[in-house]
Amino acid sequence: MAFKNESASKHGHSNITSNPDVKKFLERCPDVEVPTKKDLEEHIKKFYKVDDFHAELPKLLLAIDCSFYESFVDEEYPSRQVGYIKISSVLLNMEKYLDIGNTQSKYINPREIARLQKEIDTISLALPGAYVRLPECDTVTETFRKTLLDYLKGETTRLNGKTLFDTLVVLIEYLGRIKTDQEGVKHIIFSKCAVNNCQEQAKAKGFKIYLDIDSGIGICPICNCNNYASDVLRIFEEFSETDSNVQADSRIMSFLEHLLAVHYIYYLWKNDFNLLSKMCVFLDGPLAIFGPSAVFRKAIMLLINDVREYAKKLGFEEPLIMGLSKTGRVYEHFLAADRISKDFIQKGTFFMISDEYRYRFIDSAQKDHKKNHGEGTYYGQDIFIKTKKGGKFVVSLAYPFKDKGEGFQTRKLEVDKYTKLAHAITVIQELEADLYDNSVVPLVLAHKHTSISLKPGGKVLDILTTEAFKKTK
Ligand SMILES: [Zn+2]
């Protein structure tokens, strides 16, 4: 456990690092290897020119971004905490958006920005943290678990009658965890109790809890405790009843960002595929789910594949689904390497980040190089792009496959498998904002909005159905 304020003391820090044992340890930590030009020739099989990958911009861009912070419930008792999460989504009509850029060149009209901001949707959640228990719950952890389910079932995320909970159920079904009983009623099946170690205590094999698909609640046959459908995310395993919950809250924030993207994709798939085929879904960060909910990357890959197959069958284009990493190891690596050698990567080029390259220079802590990088977490391929202006972007593009499996380390690098690659590169090149280093304006807008607005959701849907967007069909 970190002691608050201790790390802030520089004096304390220098005391620690001058300790001979600590010094010895630090000396043994290997340096991160920075590639030379020769290494690049060896390890990057191919640099591609961005000019060879030009496509039309998607008509619509849906950017999703999240933020969170933890605070106390009241000043008298700062140990009682609540986590606040905001998810913003902004839907941009790209033609209109580029018009603003063209007429104002480097200067963006604040009135136009204000208008664009009106088109941003925000979902806000307050999640109970340490020492916060609702009267209807037995424990602080149950309060956290139940509140999460209540939010997922809440009105603010309803799209044509379907909530985020309904979309979560769709993903649970992709994981094969929904079964139909003899009466034809569907249940979510848990093989582990969220409250006690009941699966171990159960004498009979095949311990199961059947959750009602409408309420999202099931009762454990051993301990009689409520199990909530949101427990499928297992994030409560990282929850603390007496300490900070930055970890658990950030997991929820990140999961909800992906779930909301799937929510929109699924809704449009079932209601207006033509619109979906013209869309770019743009996420903040890699296309990956980390932590206890990581298994959902599998479900998302399957769902995206079904969308792709459906598009093929109907003769539509598939939607572009991409993420942008503005921080993290991969991004740090390219900044450092670029600082050392200016011609490290030529302007106007990109390359697919192979596992071989990653294990050597980015993630050298990984021992087993035969194993897929991000086997259990990633559903998209990381690509490094240096734009013609010299901007450095780490983009993640949805894998064009149903699942991973044999030869995936090679297959995932084949650029011709990614039918939306040229579109992704065009989006980055066109939206590269002069004003912000390595950021894309819709995300900046979404970010700004996250911190200033409390408006309830539903607006993106309104915009999708307005005349202005119908014209783009
Ligand atoms: Zn139980």
pLDDT at 5 over 80: no
CA of 237 to the centre of ligand 1 (A): 15
CA of 224 to the centre of ligand 1 (A): 6
CA of 144 to the centre of ligand 1 (A): 17
CA of 124 to the centre of ligand 1 (A): 31
**Neighbouring residues of 112: CB distance < 8 A, sequence distance ≥ 6:** 100, 104
CA of 198 to the centre of ligand 1 (A): 5
CA of 128 to the centre of ligand 1 (A): 22
Q: What is the pLDDT of residue 121?
A: 65
For the chain, domain boundaries: 33-131+242-473, 132-152+160-241
CA of 208 to the centre of ligand 1 (A): 10
pLDDT at 111 over 70: no
- Average predicted confidence (pLDDT) for the chain: 82
CA of 199 to the centre of ligand 1 (A): 7
CA of 194 to the centre of ligand 1 (A): 7
∠ Cα 325 326 328 (to 5°): 75
Main-chain phi, psi angles of 241, to 5 degrees: -80, -15
CA of 413 to the centre of ligand 1 (A): 45
CA-based nearest residue to 70, from 232, 230, 252? 252
* Mean pLDDT computed over 325-351: 82
CA of 202 to the centre of ligand 1 (A): 9
CA of 126 to the centre of ligand 1 (A): 27
CA of 245 to the centre of ligand 1 (A): 24
Gap between the Cα atoms of 250 and 248, Å rounded: 6
Q: Report the chain's terminal Cα–Cα distance, integer Å.
A: 55
Q: What is the pLDDT of residue 301?
A: 98
CA of 70 to the centre of ligand 1 (A): 30
CA of 246 to the centre of ligand 1 (A): 27
Does this model's pTM top 0.75? My answer is yes
CA of 5 to the centre of ligand 1 (A): 39
Structure tokens given for 32: 């991160």
CA of 435 to the centre of ligand 1 (A): 54
CA of 204 to the centre of ligand 1 (A): 14
Query: Strand, helix or coil at 320?
Result: strand
CA of 79 to the centre of ligand 1 (A): 29
Gap between the Cα atoms of 396 and 424, Å rounded: 9
Length of the chain: 473
Measured over the CA atoms of residue 90, residue 288, residue 291 and residue 244, the dihedral's sign is negative
**Neighbouring residues of 409: CB distance < 8 A, sequence distance ≥ 6:** 354, 355, 356, 372
Could you read off the pLDDT of 160-191 as tens digits, one per residue? 778 999 999 999 999 999 999 899 999 999 99
Structure tokens given for 429: 């090149």
CA of 200 to the centre of ligand 1 (A): 10
Percent of the chain exceeding pLDDT 70 equals 80
* Mean pLDDT computed over 156-161: 74
pLDDT at 447 over 70: no
Could you read off the pLDDT of 286-317 as tens digits, one per residue? 999 999 999 999 999 999 999 999 999 999 99
CA of 141 to the centre of ligand 1 (A): 14
